[in-house]
C-alpha cells in the first residue's frame, strides 16, 4: 500500500518548478482539497507561465466537514496565525479519521498551526517526503526538514502561550 500525502498549493507549484512532481506522485497517493487544486493552476519558470494539469494523478477532496473547518479557523485566530483557504481545508481534513495521511506544506503559519493543534505527527516536510520517495536533489531552504522542525517547535511554544493546558 502506497503512503498517502496531502499537498498544499505551494508544494505543488514548487514541485512543478523543480520538475519532480511526477516522481513524488509515483511514490505516494496524492490528495488535495478542491481549494488547493484551484490555487495551484500554474507555475512560473524562466519568466514564463505554465499551466499545471494534475487531474487524474491525484485524488481531489471535495467535502471537508464544516465543523472541522470551523475548528481550524478558531484555532488559527486563537494562535494569531493567518492561513489561506487551501491550508485551512487541508488542516481540517487532517481532523478526519484518515490515519496514514500526512500533510506536506512549507507554509510557516500552517505548520505552526498544525503543531499548535497537536497534529504534528500528521505532517511532513517536503524534504522528508522526497527523501522517502528516493529523491535527494538540492531543494530550496523553505523545503528543508530543519525549517519544518523549527516551525513545529514554534507552534508548540504558541500552544503553551495561548492555550490553557490545565
pLDDT in tens, 79-123: 999 999 999 999 999 998 766 899 999 999 999 999 999 999 999
55 CB-contact burial (10 Å; exposed 0-12 / middle 13-18 / buried 19+): exposed
**C-alpha cell belonging to residue 12:** 505543488
Q: Which long-range contacts (CB under 8 A, 24 or more apart) does 156-160 make?
A: 156/115, 156/116, 156/120, 158/79, 158/80, 158/81, 158/112, 158/115, 158/116, 159/79, 159/115, 159/116, 159/118
How does pLDDT run across 24-76, given as a tens digit for each residue? Answer: 999 999 999 999 999 999 999 999 999 999 999 999 999 999 999 999 999 99
- Model confidence over 3-33: pLDDT tens digits? 899 999 999 999 999 999 999 999 999 999 9
Dihedral sign (CA 102, 85, 151, 157) = negative
pLDDT tier at 1, thresholds 50, 70, 90:
low
Instruction: Classify domain 3-162 at the CATH topology level.
Output: Rossmann fold (3.40.50)
**Bridge partner list, 50:** 43
CB count in 10 Å sphere of residue 15: 26
In the chain, where the domains are located: 3-162
Amino acid at each position: 500500500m502506497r503512503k498517502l500525502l496531502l499537498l498544499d498549493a505551494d508544494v505543488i507549484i514548487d514541485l512543478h518548478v523543480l520538475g519532480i512532481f511526477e516522481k513524488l506522485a509515483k511514490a505516494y497517493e496524492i490528495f488535495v482539497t478542491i481549494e488547493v487544486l484551484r490555487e495551484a493552476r500554474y507555475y512560473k519558470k524562466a519568466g514564463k507561465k505554465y499551466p499545471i494539469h494534475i487531474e487524474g494523478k491525484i485524488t481531489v477532496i471535495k467535502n471537508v466537514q464544516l465543523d472541522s473547518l470551523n475548528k481550524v479557523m478558531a484555532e488559527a485566530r486563537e494562535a494569531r496565525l493567518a492561513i489561506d483557504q487551501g491550508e485551512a481545508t487541508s488542516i481540517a481534513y487532517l481532523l478526519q479519521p484518515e490515519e496514514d495521511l500526512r500533510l506536506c506544506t512549507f507554509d510557516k503559519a500552517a505548520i505552526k498551526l498544525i503543531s499548535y493543534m497537536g497534529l504534528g505527527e500528521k505532517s511532513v516536510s517536503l524534504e522528508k517526503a522526497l527523501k522517502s520517495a528516493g529523491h535527494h536533489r538540492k531543494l530550496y531552504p523553505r523545503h528543508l526538514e530543519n525549517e519544518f522542525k523549527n516551525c513545529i517547535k514554534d507552534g508548540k511554544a504558541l500552544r503553551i502561550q495561548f492555550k490553557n493546558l490545565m
